Structure 1
Amino acid sequence: MSVAKRILDERPRIASPLEARALIEAVIEALSALSHLVGEETELVRAGRLPEAMTREPRKAELAGIYMRGVEQVKLNAVALARFAPDQVTRLKLAHIGFQALIDTNQLVLATARAVSESIIRELATDAGKPSRAASYGPASTVGAGVFARPNAGPLVVSRRL
């Protein structure tokens, strides 16, 4: 990855087929590393291992930055790249399409995890706020003077590991 980062940080002007291939290879290398990391994150979230998935965020941000700089380089040198390495440009486009599909899957998994967690919290809040009268000898009987009791009343515990 250091070669890709170095090439992409230099902001080269493409003047030969060799330079064109080097730039595109650097961008594809950055995209490949980012894709791998996003794929790992997706699987961890899908498995419910959110804290572990969150540890990948700094590296993902770094790789995304490198990739975006590469995309800017490609845009700046689009004419030269199309002239010197049209087959590599096609390869880059296909890699980007594959990455988009991976991002779509990642977003779907994240939205599902968000919806599930919101549903759990909503149910907990509803259950915690629902009073129930203790049953004694009649449907309207109470324990004490209007005291409400919850069956198995106890402290509410929420796991932060979810």
Structure 2
Amino acid sequence: MSAAEPFRIVDRAGAEALVSGVLSSMTALQAVLDAEADHVRAGRLKAGVVAAEPKAALAATYMRQLEAAKSNAVALVRFDPKGVEHLRGAHGAFTAALEANQKVLATARTVCEGLIRNLADDIAKSRAPTGYGATMAPSPYGRGARSGPLVMSRSL
């Protein structure tokens, strides 16, 4: 299947080969997504990233095959109707697995952002000078032992 000439199905063997290829890519991609989600759920983020490395290549292959299936939909139904039904069912299960993976990744992202935000707040609190009475703001001129760096706004 090259980008220059579209893939055309002309017989039952071609239809079965395309359905088989799409199912194979979908299964491989789902296995990678499941491994990634399992690692992230367990808190092994580095292992999750390593497990997800082939994800982009598998997703690209799957999308190319899916486009070929869409462009040959009439021929697929004509030459391999049972394969098309099997493909539809497998695609529904794959969509559910993909949504579960996205939820796990979104949850991990939210937790990480919350941890970073809390850490930044704690650091900011520890840098604020303390004194008697109301909390004093740090000096914008960098004077004092605990003041932070001077920040300059370029938008003014």
TM-score under structure 1 normalisation?
0.73
- State the alpha-carbon separation in 1 of the partners of residues 79 and 109 from structure 2: 46
1:73 to 63, 68, 72: 68
Q: Which amino acid aligns with 1:111?
A: A
The alignment status of 1:109 with 2:104, answered yes or no, reads yes
RMSD of Structure 2 on Structure 1 (CA): 2.2
**Which residue of structure 1 aligns with residue 25 of structure 2?**
30
Aligned-pair distance for 1:118?
1.0
Regions of 4+ moved over 6 Å: none
Tell me whether 1:20 sits opposite 2:15 in the alignment: yes
Structure 1 runs not aligned, ≥5 long: 1-7, 141-146, 150-162
Q: Deviations over 1:50-81 (max 9, x none)?
A: 11111234311111111111111101211110
Contact 2:32 2:52 survives alignment (8 Å): no
Correspondent of 1:53 among 24, 48, 54: 48
Residue 99 of structure 1 and its aligned partner are, at CA, apart by 1.0
Task: Kindly provide the CA deviation profile for residues 112-141 of structure 1, in whole angstroms up to 9, marking residues without a partner as x.
Answer: 11111111111111111113648xxxx76x
Unaligned runs of 5+ in 2: 134-143, 147-156
The letter of the residue matching 2:33 is: V
Q: Distance in 2 between matches of 1:51 and 1:37?
A: 14
Instruction: Give 1:94's aligned residue.
Output: 89
The size of the alignment, in residue pairs, is 132
- Could you give the per-residue CA deviations for residues 1-25 of structure 1, whole angstroms, max 9, x where no partner exists? xxxxxxx569542122222111100
Please, what TM-score do these two structures have when normalized by structure 2?
0.76
Q: Distance in 2 between matches of 1:43 and 1:11?
A: 37
Task: Give aligned-pair identity as a percent.
Answer: 42
User: In 2, distance between residues paired with 1:125 and 1:96?
Assistant: 43
